[in-house]
Amino acid sequence: MPKIDKLLLQMKEVGASDLHYTVGCPPKMRIHGDMQTLDLPVITMEEARDTLFEIVTAEQQKTFLQERDLDFAYGLPGYARYRTNFLFQQNGIGAVFRMIPEKIMTLDQLNAPKAILQFVQLGSGLVVVTGPTGSGKTTTLATVINYINENYYRHILTIEEPIEFVHPNKKCLVTQREVGTDTRSFSAALRSAMREDPNVILVGEMRDQETISLALTCAEMGILVFGTLHTNSAPKTVDRVIDVFPSEEQARIRTMLASSLTGVIAQQLCRRCDIAGRVAAYEVLVGSPALGAVIRTGEVSKIESMIQAGGSVGMQTMDGAIMNLLQNGWISGEEAYAKSFDKRVFEQYYKIEGAEAEGEEEK
């Protein structure tokens, strides 16, 4: 058994999402959002090379030493898969292992809004899932893809770096392509996708002009496209897509986005106070002719009020989602205040909890 496997097996036992293995400090795990140091010796350069290079091929090792970074998926058969990044840092080399759950969760288990199913049922357009790194975007998308796979007869094409959740063929044919192994880049795979008869395309990351433009083109062609960005709200997502392009192209992109944007799901993870773990809060924007008009005219500031007024069609703001979690007793007032956008709304709950805590200490 490779040396690193012992630590990877330990992750599930303690509920860790990430393992950090870096020269110059002991191994650390992120458990329910917090970094915790393991009671182990400081990792030396020699130990790190022996441990990390044991799980890669000679070709991967060569690539890592040349490029100074390496992304790949590492699996323990019958146990779990890990999204893995090797890196160089000031003290030497290191690695981060993100655990990929064995089973794909349902929307109910994720506490995800049912409005997400609208996007699946429409069958075409662009759906952007957005949020900071580690907010659960990949898990949400895996759940949506699995739902399609179990309920529709379609061809699903995923383009990922690396492949994380493996989807067996159920009712759908699922083709999964890994950037760097099966295709040169996201954009190269998207250009080919137009000739591969997909009904659904998952783009692991829309990171550049060409990839975003091709994703919009595929959506306009009647394909349901899911993509991810690193923004924290629906209005900022619209701005980000447009601002990636030079000013002379933005009018064209606004028109494309206005006609093809089916929805935006923005999410972040909140620490639970009732049980150990975290729960996602979701902001949902549903596409409409009114949204298209706002995007064309550049009045993105109106999107927030559209979400607030769109509850009847499944829209919800991030602060509204956080308030629901607070009122259900799932998160604390302190957590709600920390994760909210409008702090004034949650200030009263944060202050009440603080006052109660002080009262207990005085007793």
Q: What is the mean pLDDT of residues 230-241?
A: 94
How many residues would you count in the chain? 363
Using the CB atoms, write b or e for 339-350: b if 16+ within 10 Å. bbeeeeebeebb
Residue 305 has which token pair?
Answer: 């009020």
Q: In the predicted model, what is the mean pLDDT of the chain?
A: 93
Task: Select the CATH number that applies to the domain covering 3-100 from these four: 3.90.950.10, 3.30.450.90, 3.40.50.2300, 3.40.50.9100.
Answer: 3.30.450.90
Q: How far is CA 343 from CA 11, 320, 336, 339, in A?
A: 34, 12, 9, 9
Domain ranges of the chain: 3-100, 107-331, 332-363
pLDDT of 48 strictly over 90: yes
The pLDDT, as a whole number, for residue 242 is 95
Q: Span 107-331: which CATH code? A: 3.40.50.300
d(CA 329, CA 347): 17
d(CA 182, CA 143): 23
72, HSE (Cβ side, Cα atoms, 13 Å): 20
Q: What is the mean pLDDT of residues 129-150?
A: 94
Peptide bond just before 162 cis, omega within 30 deg: yes
The pLDDT, as a whole number, for residue 294 is 96
> What are the pLDDT digits (tens) for 189-199?
999 998 999 99
> What are the pLDDT digits (tens) for 100-120?
987 899 999 998 998 889 999
The pLDDT, as a whole number, for residue 356 is 52
Q: How far is CA 183 from CA 2, 69, 220, 240, in A?
A: 29, 18, 23, 26
> What are the pLDDT digits (tens) for 290-331?
999 999 999 999 999 999 999 999 999 999 999 999 999 999
Three-class SS state of 1: coil
Stated pTM of the model: 0.88
Q: What is the mean pLDDT of residues 228-237?
A: 94
